[in-house]
Amino acid sequence: MYWSNYHSHCVFCDGRSSMEEFVHFAIAKGLKKYGFSSHAPLPFNTFWNMKLDDFAEYQSEFKRLKEKYKSEIELYIGLEVDYIHNFIEIHNDLYSSNTMDYLIGSIHYMDQLPSGDFWTIDGNFRDFFAGLKLLFDSEIRPAVERFYEISQCMIEKGGFDIVGHFDKIAMNASNCVDFDNSASWYKNRVGELLQLIKDKGLILEVNTKSLVEKGLCFPDFKFFPLINDLQIPIVVNSDCHYPTNMLDGFEPAFKALKTAGFKTTRQLIEGSWQAVEII
Ligand SMILES: [Zn+2]
Ligand SMILES: [Zn+2]
């Protein structure tokens, strides 16, 4: 089995290298399939989303590379699209499947702060905790419950193929003394969401971005057996922002998947998501 990666960020959003540099690295590492998934444009300025004005060039540069390297690697273009509850949905003519090979649906922002900005759960802990204080009186459980409520809405509304880093709130929540991802209420909440992902026929991402550096995988390894029991299709992605991080965490993630009983992962092959045996 060869490795693949469909979640990556290049200079069109907050990644640090050109598309072509990622392609060179992928070929050098023996990848046969590779996908770009810049953060989709948003109606407000951020440090990490693509600008709407750059969207056409994102597509034309991709087309150039796809053709140039077609004998060496299958390249795909997608987007990581934000779902911001009561503000922006993933359904959007601009990102339709006519133009993109796949879409990853992710939550980085939750509710609006008194300033009007959206509370980001994917940034540093200082900002996370400041928002927690303003929106949830510093109580972590209602914030986590809200995250899963919003995730449920995103999945029910659909319009994407892959659920990105589905329990990402645990990254910052784990720094709060009152949060325990072994608590029964939390496991129940995760279980309900996984069941919904299964019912909707979506692919669940195993996001290895923070595995080497922080020992965190999204989903957490402890949920792997449940995901396998539910037979939810998975795709292993590194969410890399530098080419050198392209395969970070893949070895321990695949090892943990095998231990949990997974037999297959999904890869986009000749335009369709197919089950590939994990060896
Ligand atoms: Zn993300
Ligand atoms: Zn990402």
Residue pLDDT, tens place only, 25-79: 999 999 999 999 999 999 998 989 999 999 999 999 999 999 999 999 999 999 9
SS3 37: strand
Q: In CATH, what number is assigned to the domain containing residue 54?
A: 3.20.20.140
State in Å: Cα 167 to ligand 1 middle: 11
Q: How many domains does the chain have?
A: 1
DSSP string, 169-182: HHHHHTTSTT--TT
State in Å: Cα 263 to ligand 1 middle: 26
State in Å: Cα 8 to ligand 2 middle: 6
DSSP string, 126-146: HHHHHHHHHHHTT-HHHHHHH
Beta bridge partners of 38: 79
Q: What pTM, to 2 d.p., does this model score?
A: 0.97
Residue among 122, 40, 20, 112 at smallest CA distance from 81: 40
State in Å: Cα 187 to ligand 2 middle: 25
Question: Residue 88 has which token pair?
Answer: 């922006």
Interaxial angle between packed helices 140-157 and 125-136, expressed in degrees from 0 to 180 and rounded to the nearest 10: 90
CB contact at 8 A, 205 and 7: yes
State in Å: Cα 104 to ligand 2 middle: 9
Name every residue whose Cβ is closer than 8 Å to that of residue 148 and which is 6 or more positions away in sequence. 189, 190, 192, 193
164-220 pLDDT tens trace: 999 999 999 999 999 999 999 999 999 999 999 999 999 999 999 999 999 999 999
Asked if residue 194 is part of any domain, the answer here is yes
Which ligand has the shortest distance to the CA of 107?
Answer: 1
CB contact at 8 A, 74 and 58: no
Average pLDDT, the chain: 96
- The rounded distance, in Å, linking the Cα atoms of 219 and 238 is 13
Asked if residue 119 is part of any domain, the answer here is no
Residues in the chain: 279
Report pLDDT for 239. Answer: 98
- Least confidently predicted of 31-35, 96-100, 135-139, 172-176: 96-100
Asked if residue 60 is part of any domain, the answer here is yes
List Cα–Cα distances, 127 to 45, 120, 169, 221, 235, in angstroms: 17, 8, 13, 26, 30
Asked if residue 118 is part of any domain, the answer here is no
- The rounded distance, in Å, linking the Cα atoms of 74 and 223 is 31
- Residue 276's Cβ-side half-sphere holds a number of Cα atoms within 13 Å equal to 18
Residues spanned by the domain of 164: 19-111+139-277
Counting Cβ atoms within 10 Å, is residue 214 exposed (0-12), middle (13-18) or buried (19+)? Answer: exposed
